[in-house]
Chains A and B, each alone.
Chain A
Amino acid sequence: MSATMRTIPAPPVSAETKPFWDAAAAGRLLLKRCEACGEPHYYPRAACPFCGSARTSWQEASGRGTIYSYSVFRRAPVPYAIAYVTLEEGPTLMTNIVDSDLDAIRIGQRVRVRFVPTDGGPPVPMFAPA
């Protein structure tokens, strides 16, 4: 089941998150890391959600992770798999699992990022079996 069979809504881009989406368009997945406490976080924010510091900077992620949980939405016109993937760098993010038999998806499975086009916006990070 290919992700391109369903229309992916464009993410709204703000000044706060524009660097993330510019990188996504170039095929790179970014995280935010706090320069004060050292914690990485996702979704990216201007202020660190762990210590409140405004000294956060963008960091490129490896794009590798494992499936923390998932669910195949069977009732959708085109069934799709929503998932939480835990990145090698630590944070867990919401995504879709693509380029996979929906019935073969498993928790703990190793996956790799793949940017998928959206409806008039920048591409979004989805994950496929590694």
Chain B
Amino acid sequence: MSIKGKAYIAGVFEHPTRKADDKSVAELHAESARGALADAGLSFGDVDAYFCAGDAPGLGGLSMADYMGLKLRHIDTTETGGSSYVVHVGHAAEAIAAGKCNVALITLAGRPRAEGMATGTAPRSYGAAAPDVAFEFPFGPTVVNQYAMAAMRHMHQYGTTSAQLAWIKVAASQHAQHNPNALLREVVTVEEVVSSPMVADPLHRLDCCVITDGGGAIVVTRPDVAKALRRPRVRVLGAGEAVKHQAGGKIDLTYTGAVWSGPAAFAEAGVRPADVKYVSIYDSFTITVLITLEDLGFCDKGQGGKFVADGNLISGVGRLPFNTDGGGLCNNHPANRGGLTKVVEAVRQLRGEAHPSVQVKSCDVALAHGTGGSLATRHASATVIMERES
């Protein structure tokens, strides 16, 4: 069974806050839900399916259904880190296609900034019961130094340079200057990125995403529900998900699960990379974007550095505009999880509702991609391809 054309994204919302000192996590989830439902022209009473991940407080989906008063006949709390919400779009489309629900609500929220969390730079243990912890935690793995090792290997194997990686941040900053809600709106240059302080070789401070509070929500509906609403219609064409791990020690840091999730999504959608007018690519770090673009087939493996250079990702300048909201690198990375906002900006582009300075002309097909976990060693990749229905 294919999901192609069987579900629509009817509502999206990105919470405008970037520091939420005076709001609870549950409150941020509910505010985001209200925003996405209002965007669609629906209400809480219309929701019959709910999707959330590890950022939902308490008993997760149960606590949030209780808080928001949802009456549900379908629930899915798939947790794949920051890619969860891209996975959820695919799962929601599957549930709708199978007749399990009519209106699916996906929410994300968190406040790592208000809580002073050292997201990327503190060694993180997932608890003594995590099977890998004894063999890794003593060596000080952090989010940033693990992604840095992928970057270091890519440079060694393919000759990728820090300046090429910097172009990804430069493009994001060019876009973020037009987003009044973006945490970082200042345009930066390649020189500024490569001369910013080194965090973990070869990743500089400006190769890393922001830490922000906030949230977001997505509403996925049956086609007939979407067609009855007064909003531009965005169809889900295809979705793919994959998990990549250490393969018992056969570690290869040069590719991600996007080599599997991408082809699955393209095949279901019936489109090719050349048909895609806009991409939202998970950008925890610049290297995440570069490897993902290769893996999705936008350029050959190893050619990502050349592909992203010279403004190729800048809207109105390059061939493949990406993350026109400023992405995680400049705009927002709510709850340390950037997957949901990737879908939101792709929907804005397809509706023609992105900022006029970054709106892609004739944007009829867009792709959103999430990467959650440790790049290339334990992560989930999720790809969703969407189309504007004219």
Residues of B near A69 (CB, < 8 A) are 149-150, 152-153, 156, 253
Is there contact, CB below 8 Å, between B156 and A13?
Answer: no
Q: Which of B196-204, B269-277, B312-320, B344-352 contacts A (4 or more CB under 8 A)?
A: B196-204
Binary B-proximity of A99-129 (CB < 8 A = 1, otherwise 0): 0000000011000000000100000101000
Q: Does A11 contact B (CB under 8 A)?
A: yes
Cβ-defined partner of B200 (8 Å) among A12, A73, A95: A73
* Interchain CB contact under 8 A, A49 and B140: no
Is B199 a contact partner of A11 (Cβ separation < 8 A)?
Answer: no
- Identity of the chain B residue whose Cβ is nearest the Cβ of A103 in the assembled complex: B201
Given A12-B134, A45-B131, A69-B152, the answer on whether A76 and B250 have CB atoms closer than 8 Å is no
In the bound complex, what is the Cα–Cα distance between A92 and B140 (angstroms)?
17
Is B134's CB under 8 angstroms from A13's CB?
Answer: yes
Within residues 57 to 71 of chain A, which ones have a CB less than 8 A from any CB in chain B?
68-71
| A75-B200, A82-B149, A84-B149 known; A107-B156 Cβ under 8 A | yes
Residues of A within 8 A of B246 (CB): 92
Docked complex Cα distance between A75 and B118 (Å): 12
A82, B141: Cβ atoms under 8 Å? yes
Question: What size tier do the contact residues of chain A reach?
Answer: 35 or more
Cβ-defined contact, A74 with B253, below 8 A: no
Assess the A11–B138 pair: CB atoms within 8 A: yes
Tell which of A21, A68, A71 touches B201, judged by Cβ atoms closer than 8 Å: A71
Q: Is the CB of A43 within 8 A of B132?
A: yes
User: Would B249 and A40 count as touching, CB distance under 8 A?
Assistant: yes
Picked from A6, A75, A92, A126, the residue with its CB within 8 Å of the CB of B199 is A75
Bound-complex Cα distance A6 to B145 (A): 17
**What string of 1s and 0s marks CB contacts (under 8 Å) between B129-171 and chain A?**
0011111111111101110111111001000000000000000
A126 CA to B140 CA, complexed, in Å: 12
B194-222 CB contacts (< 8 Å) to partner A: 197-203
Q: Is the CB of B140 within 8 A of A82?
A: yes
Determine the chain B residues whose CB is within 8 A of the CB of A83 once the complex forms.
Answer: 149
For A124, list chain B residues within 8 Å (CB).
138-139
Do residues B249 and A92 form an inter-chain contact, with CB atoms below 8 A? yes
C-alpha gap A28/B75 in the complex (Å): 49
When chains A and B are docked, how far (Å) is the Cα of A115 from the Cα of B178? 53
Q: Which residues of B from 351 to 378 have beta carbons under 8 Å from A?
A: none
Instruction: Decide yes or no whether B228 CB sits under 8 A from chain A.
Output: no
Cα of A69 to Cα of B148 in the assembled complex, Å: 9
- Kindly state the separation between the CA atoms of A124 and B141 in the bound complex, as whole angstroms: 14
A90 located at the interface, meaning its Cβ lies under 8 Å from any Cβ of chain B in the complex: yes
A17 and B138 contacting across the interface, CB-CB below 8 Å: no
Assuming A41-B248, A49-B248, A92-B250, is B152 touching A73 (CB within 8 A)? no
B247 within 8 A of A: yes
- Closest approach, in angstroms, between the C-beta of A130 and any C-beta of chain B? 19
CA distance A12 to B136 in the complex (A): 11
CB distance from B146 to the nearest CB of A (A): 8
Give Cα A69–Cα B29 distance, bound, in whole angstroms. 39
Pair A73/B249 contact, Cβ less than 8 Å: no
B131→A49 contact, CB < 8 A: no
B121 CB-CB contact with A under 8 Å: yes
Do A75 and B149 touch across chains, with their CB atoms under 8 A apart? no
Closest A residue to B138 by CB, please name it. Answer: A124
Given A41-B248, A71-B200, A73-B200, answer yes or no on A95-B139 (Cβ-Cβ < 8 Å).
Answer: yes
B59 CB within 8 Å of chain A: no
A126 to B145, CA, bound (A): 17
Find chain B residues with CB under 8 A from A12 CB: 128, 133-134
CA distance A124 to B197 in the complex (A): 31
18 other A-B residue contacts (CB within 8 Å) besides A41-B249, A108-B156, A126-B139? A9-B125, A11-B137, A13-B134, A39-B248, A42-B249, A43-B136, A43-B249, A48-B248, A73-B140, A73-B199, A75-B121, A76-B121, A82-B140, A82-B141, A83-B149, A90-B249, A93-B135, A96-B139
- Sorted nearest first, the 4 A-B pairs with minimum C-beta distance are A91-B249, A12-B128, A11-B134, A41-B248
Interface residues, chain B, with chain A CB atoms under 8 Å away:
121, 123, 125, 128, 131-142, 144-146, 148-153, 156, 197-203, 246-251, 253
* A residues with CB within 8 A of B: 6, 8-14, 17, 21, 39-45, 48-50, 68-76, 80, 82-84, 86, 90-96, 107-108, 118, 124, 126
Can you pick out 28 interface pairs between chain A and chain B where the beta carbons lie within 8 Å of each other? A9-B123, A11-B134, A13-B134, A41-B248, A42-B135, A42-B249, A43-B249, A70-B201, A71-B145, A71-B148, A71-B203, A72-B200, A72-B201, A73-B199, A73-B200, A74-B197, A76-B140, A80-B140, A82-B139, A82-B145, A90-B249, A92-B250, A94-B135, A94-B136, A94-B139, A95-B139, A107-B153, A118-B138
